[in-house]
Amino acid sequence: MQLSVPWRRGQKKPFASLPRINWSHPLASGLVTFMYDGCGVVIDLVTGELAKIIVSGGTASIVGTQYGQTYFTANVGSGTYWGFNTSNSPIQNNLGTNYSFASGYVRRGATSANYGDIFCYCDSATTTPIWIGSNATTSEVMWTLDGVNIYTGTVVPALNMFSTSGGVVTSSTTGTTYHIDAVNGFNATNRTGLSVTNHTGFVPAMYIDIEHSGGIVDGGQQCAIFYGAVWKNRVLTNADWLNLHLDPWSLLIYPEDEIFATLVGVSTVTPFTWSQTGDDLNFLPRGHLIREMIRHD
């Protein structure tokens, strides 16, 4: 169960425990992948499958950020890499021509040597149909929406700030790329000339550009990646992107949510979305407000 009025919000990972998807939440509709860094384990919360470490000479460690702890790796270029993907068992055989993908991360350094990989889907034909990365020399965000065209953005993700990057495909030839952070603001660019075709067997990966047939292209970006997500038959709207960026954990239910809900007598799950009123009275449950009044009186 979960509170109908949220008692937590924001970009900071609320708890160290492993959550589950709240399938009643509007952002969960169409979700087919949600790779979640649980700081010690990376798991696809949609399939329940644990990701495995793919490594060749690269190293990584767990780091703390103002948004919570995750794994962290430095971009070291082609041939030396470290990252995660799920097993060789494909999770999606075809995304069609209406899909969305996103990743939330904190950039911690410049890209070096080769493209800095953040999140991708790879397929059995050694193709990466969707990919989020960064320019090898100037660190601007880069995307592919179709595995054919690579687009370079005009913004460099702000250092040590929570960033959301991704894209949507609206037809076999059109789509939009997105990047949001506190310094660069909301950036959306329409893309034309795509060549979206059916691919066979998708596997998600973070920090690396890897095809599950075995090929590895580039090492990872110098960043801490919190999640990578894909939606099928769903084109995220501008409002969806803002909600996802401002509160990426709102579509998850943590064990602590359920514990707190039982303490205040809530027995049903009611999805919620944010409205920007600037007044916390619209967000906090009554019990919390009472405790706040007692604390300040």
Instruction: Burial-class residue 28 by CB neighbours within 10 Å (0-12, 13-18, 19+).
Output: buried
The per-residue b/e assignment along 90-106, b for 16 or more CB within 10 angstroms, e otherwise, is bbbeebebbbbbbbbbb
How far is the first Cα of the chain from the last one, in angstroms, to the nearest whole number? 32
User: 136 to each of 111, 156, 184, 225, 241, how far by Cα in Å?
Assistant: 6, 12, 20, 18, 26
Question: What is the structure's pLDDT at 79?
Answer: 56
R_g (Cα) of the chain, nearest Å: 19
Q: Which residues pair with 92 in a beta bridge?
A: 202
Inside any domain, residue 288? no
Q: Could you please report the per-residue DSSP string of 23-64? A: TTSGGGTTEEEEEEE-SS-EEETTT-PBPEEEEEB--EEEEE
Q: What is the pLDDT, as a whole number, of residue 200?
A: 66
pLDDT digits (tens, 9 = 90+) for 95-146: 888 999 999 998 877 666 566 778 888 766 667 788 888 876 777 888 888 8
pLDDT at 293 over 60: no
Task: Report yes or no: 176 and 191 within 8 Å, Cβ to Cβ.
Answer: yes
How far apart, in whole angstroms, are the C-alpha atoms of residue 182 and residue 186? 8
In a domain, 269, yes or no: no
Total tally of structural domains belonging to the chain = 1
| Residue 126: CA count within 13 A, CB half-sphere | 5
Q: Is residue 101 part of a domain?
A: yes
The token pair that represents 241 in the structure block: 């992107």
Residue 278 Cα distances to 242, 281, 286, angstroms: 16, 9, 17
What is the model's pLDDT at position 206? 77
Q: How far apart are CA 159 and CA 229, in angstroms?
A: 22
CA distance 208 to 68: 22
For the chain, give the mean pLDDT: 76
The residues facing 43 across adjacent strands are: 36, 50
User: In this structure, what CATH number is given to the domain that contains residue 108?
Assistant: 2.60.120.200
Least confident of 75-84, 152-161, 171-180: 75-84
Query: Is residue 275 one of the residues assigned to a domain?
Result: no
CB neighbour list of residue 293: distance below 8 Å, 6 or more residues apart:
none
Q: Does residue 286 form part of some domain?
A: no
**Could you list the residue range(s) of the whole structural domain that residue 26 is in?**
21-252
Segment 46-92, tens digit of pLDDT? 988 887 777 666 666 677 778 777 766 665 555 555 667 666 555 66
Distance, CA of 231 to chain centre: 11
Q: Is the pLDDT of residue 2 over 60?
A: no
Residue 91 maps to a domain: yes
Residue 182's pLDDT band, with cuts at 50, 70 and 90, is: very high
In a domain, 271, yes or no: no
Task: Judge whether 148 lies within some domain.
Answer: yes
C-alpha to C-alpha distance for 168 and 151, rounded to whole angstroms? 13
